[in-house]
């Protein structure tokens, strides 16, 4: 299986990075092909705008979706976008590894989403959800939180599934991906070394058997 993993965390010694590296090693050991994007290490530029393109269709008034459709036809996407689009298109399963920032993805990952999932290539009029271009592909979120699990209830932060719904439904399912159950690690800063080892072991076990979830 072809698996693409995106990491959005600035610290290479973080637990997010440990989960990322564990996933790479585990999946390769299981015989899967793996490609990665470590967004901070790549110095990925998240601001989406005219710089997404090497040439514009309309120099006088910028409309991003219109330029995305033109870029697909005229091959005018910037190289960073083309590289990431290739990885998404190549993959059978895409995993995003990130810390929850303000109940959403970090800005660098949101910018990656804005730039990479372009109109005409990943969605179009009527080409969404069950008719999306990514139908048949799977996606999964692996997320760490600062707060403990007990806070993710309706009268506090809200349930984690509700918090992640805009990402699941509004991005991944919108594009046609089938979304697997998220891997959630709560209160990551408060974990003991033993708890971290257990979590990594459980992550290895899940990824070793990931094809059972997909089939």
Q: Which of 30, 35, 215 is nearest to 136 (CA)?
A: 215
Write down the CATH number for the domain with range 2-214: 3.40.50.360
Q: Quote the percentage of the chain above a pLDDT of 90.
A: 98
213 confidence band (pLDDT: 50, 70, 90): confident
Specify the pLDDT at position 215.
Answer: 59
pLDDT, one tens digit per residue, over 94-124 is 999 999 999 999 999 999 999 999 999 999 9
The mean predicted confidence, pLDDT, of the chain is 97
| Domains of the chain by residue range | 2-214
Specify the pLDDT at position 64.
Answer: 98
pLDDT, one tens digit per residue, over 136-195 is 999 999 999 999 999 999 999 999 999 999 999 999 999 999 999 999 999 999 999 999
Long-range contacts (CB closer than 8 Å, 24 or more residues apart) made by 36-39 = 36/4, 36/5, 36/6, 36/7, 37/4, 37/5, 37/6, 37/7, 37/84, 37/87, 37/112, 38/7, 39/6, 39/7, 39/8, 39/108, 39/109, 39/112
Asked if residue 214 has pLDDT above 80, the reply is no
């Amino acid at each position: 299986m072809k698996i693409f993993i995106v990491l959005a965390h600035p610290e290479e010694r973080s637990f997010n990075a440990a989960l990322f590296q564990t996933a790479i090693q585990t999946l390769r050991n299981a015989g899967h092909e793996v490609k990665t994007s470590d967004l901070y290490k790549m110095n990925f530029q998240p601001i989406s705008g005219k710089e997404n393109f090497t040439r514009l269709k309309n120099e006088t008034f910028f409309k991003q979706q219109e330029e995305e459709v033109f870029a697909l036809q005229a091959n005018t996407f910037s190289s960073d976008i083309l590289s990431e689009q290739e990885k998404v298109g190549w993959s059978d399963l895409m995993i995003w590894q990130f810390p929850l920032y303000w109940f959403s993805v970090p800005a660098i990952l949101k910018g990656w989403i804005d730039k990479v999932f372009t109109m005409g290539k990943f969605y179009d009029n009527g080409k969404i959800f069950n008719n999306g271009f990514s139908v048949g592909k799977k996606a999964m979120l692996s997320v760490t939180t600062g707060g403990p699990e007990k806070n993710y209830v309706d009268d506090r932060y809200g349930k984690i599934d509700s918090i992640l719904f805009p990402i699941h439904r509004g991005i991944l399912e919108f594009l046609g991906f089938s979304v697997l159950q998220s891997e959630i690690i709560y209160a990551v800063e408060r974990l003991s070394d033993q708890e971290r080892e257990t979590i990594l072991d459980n992550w290895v076990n899940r990824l070793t058997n990931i094809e059972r979830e997909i089939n």
